[in-house]
Amino acid sequence: MGRAPNYLELSLFSVMWSEHCGYKNSRPLLKRFPNEGERVVQGPGENAGVVEVGDGWAVAFKMESHNHPSAVEPYEGAATGVGGIIRDILAMGARPVALLDSLRFGPLEEERSRYLFREVVRGIGGYGNAVGVPTVGGEVEFAEAYSGNPLVNAMCVGVIRTEDLVRSSATGEGNLVVLLGSKTGRDGIHGATFASDELTEESESKRSNVQVGDPFCEKMLIECCLKLLAEDLLVSLQDLGAAGITSSASEMAAKGGVGIEIETDKVPLRESGMEPWEVMISESQERMLAVVEPHKAEEVLKLAERYELVGALVGRVAGHGDLRVLHNGKVAGTVPAEHLADAPVYERDIVSPIYLDEVQELALDDIAEPEDFNAVLLKMLGHPNLRSRRSIFTQYDHQVGTDTVVLPGADAAVMRIKGTNLGFAVTTDGRGRHCYLDPRGGGAATVAEAYRNLSCVGAEPVAVTDCLNFGNPEKPDGYYQLAGCIEGMSEACETLGTPVVSGNVSLYNETDRGAIYPTPTVGMVGIMKDVDSHATPAFKREGDMVVVLGKMPPILGEPRPSADDLLAGSEYLEIVHGEIAGLPRRPELLAEKEIADLVRGLVSSGLVDTAHDISGGGEAVALAEMAIGGGIGFDYDGEVDIGELRQEMRGDVFLFGETNPDFIVAVPEERWDELQHALGGVAYDWIGTTGGNRLRIGDLIDLDLDELGEAHERDLFEAHVPEGGHIG
């Protein structure tokens, strides 16, 4: 700048050059992601990615984190995370129609973890239910690595006509800048810099860095902005999130190659005596910044008043290229907008961590095979990582708007585009333990699992948004994990044809107890030409033929993966034996795509209406989930000779080994010939038939559905610690 910046200018840099806003450590790595695809309308660089659905319709979607705020103020942290991601979708001109969340907490034995879990779920429901956007899906896991540093990732999807898409570039020298929504207060000041630090004992004192949400105001803001856009009253639109007016104004100016002047004395305030720097970096919620042509400004303000919102002319577009802050007619600070929007980056050495040499060793011979597999299956079904999520999603309104076709509890949610048969499916997935044991393989497996989940409901996966949750990138282990996961995700996205169109990075997720597992969360969207042709995991009828598609269990006599491969990093190994070890099998991406695309074709053709992928907990857990969901039993009496199989394989490996890409599908007996013909030369095993009220797998498992359901449907919020210290 050629001079010493003043305090206000330093404040602008402090938030815009924080890791949270500036992506200083991740930007060089993010270039690896593929961003282009046949259906991509808008890739990274805007408030959200957009993909085409068909018939002029498109969906906008993005995922973001609110981890640090939720660690110190879980209800408001989660609530404002939901509010912020909704406004990202609104800024594209899309109507928000679906929310999902991906959550991580410490073990439920810990009182603090139970508190964070309860309040985060309350915050998501409290905001989403009130704002009128259904929460249709998500996921949650519990592990010691997240103790004290929960992960709260929120995803939103919106629907828009392609011709109505809005960008955020400020244009037109002399155009006016309008602030819409709530008044500005001191809540959230320096929230961006707070989110760029490790959590410590002092973090509790930073509650004032956490914003407070008002979902009813947000609902009015949604309807007002959509009305303004429909009447062609706005040039561009941007939400106010991290760094408040500073980030929105500087990014809009930088994208448009113009300057923006903000008059802080004209910003409506909730609190008296706020300094210009406080006004500029406040992260008060429910606010949008719009560029308006002068002759339309009065109409914009009238419409805001009609929706009971605060609307104010707070600045103008200028030709000087600066973000210029004025107060009472005097210049309080001025900085080139492109400098603020382009933080410096760090390119670090990628060094393999020493810990990998230790954790990747798995001595399965030292792990005893259980004697009672019934007890093992019940323990796994009752563990918080595999237990039913019903106690969570019943707190959410997942049908408001009446467009939800497949409700929470399936592999993915399915939504209809109102007034048509077109729709989309959406899922969120993360594999933190896998990424800890093998960052590159875990990154690829995360994308592959999302691809399988969408295929199970009959949707064509088209694009990805992500939230990259990692520890301190300044430490070699943290940077290696970040780089490795991005590489694995990129390889998977390229092979599967699912470009990354938006996302978020959240670093410094660690406490004095250590870093979180490297947890890249993937939100994947798939399109559907007819949402009525879909599948769910629950068994539908008695007498259905049940088939496993994929490579495991392969036809007897064929080469098999090793037991170490199948149990490495598995839920079984951790839940039953307390082991987090081994090198999980990396996904064979071409095989993943082949089998998943086949399943999708079976579903979309109407031949298959029951499908589920085999993932956490292995085949036995997947079959139990399907039986519990449908209230129909299953007998493993097909072509697979379990007695012969047991001579080659341990029982726990067969039942609980996590093999991909494997799917379970079911069809009525009268359509068995059709299914065989449709499968062609793909490897499959007919494993048995639905019916009765028991789950039987050879001489290994024989349980009543009531027993299975009692274990699986336990309320997560009433978890207890039985003797021995493990949640059973």
Q: Is residue 689 part of a domain?
A: yes
pLDDT of residue 243: 86
CATH code for the domain of 680: 3.90.650.10
| Residue ranges for the chain with pLDDT beneath 50 | 191-196, 203, 205-209, 552-559, 721-728
Q: Is residue 378 part of a domain?
A: no
In sequence order, what are the residues at sequence separation of 6 or more whose Cβ sits closer than 8 angstroms to the Cβ of residue 365? Answer: none
pLDDT of residue 728: 32
Q: Is residue 559 part of a domain?
A: yes
pLDDT of residue 723: 40
Q: Is residue 504 part of a domain?
A: no
Residue 200: phi and psi, rounded to 5, are -130, -175
pLDDT of residue 649: 85
In sequence order, what are the residues at sequence separation of 6 or more whose Cβ sits closer than 8 angstroms to the Cβ of residue 220? Answer: 307, 308, 309
Q: Which sequence positions are flagged as catalytic?
A: 20, 66
The boundaries of the domain holding residue 547 are 535-728
Q: Contacts for 217-220 with beta carbons within 8 Å, 24 or more apart?
A: 217/181, 217/182, 217/286, 217/309, 218/83, 218/86, 218/87, 218/127, 218/131, 218/285, 218/286, 219/130, 219/131, 219/132, 220/307, 220/308, 220/309
Is the CB of residue 91 less than 8 Å from the CB of residue 239? yes
Q: How far apart are CA 659 and CA 681, in angstroms?
A: 20
Q: Is residue 490 part of a domain?
A: no
How many Å is the maximal CA-CA distance in the chain?
A: 86
Q: Is residue 381 part of a domain?
A: no
The neighbour count for residue 492, using CB atoms within 10 Å, is: 26
Q: Is residue 712 part of a domain?
A: yes
* DSSP 8-state assignment for residue 689: E
pLDDT of residue 648: 80
DSSP per position, 282-351: ---SSEEEEEE-GGGHHHHHHHHHHTT-EEEEEEEEESS-EEEEEETTEEEEEEEHHHHHS---------
Number of structural domains the chain divides into = 1
Q: Is residue 711 part of a domain?
A: yes
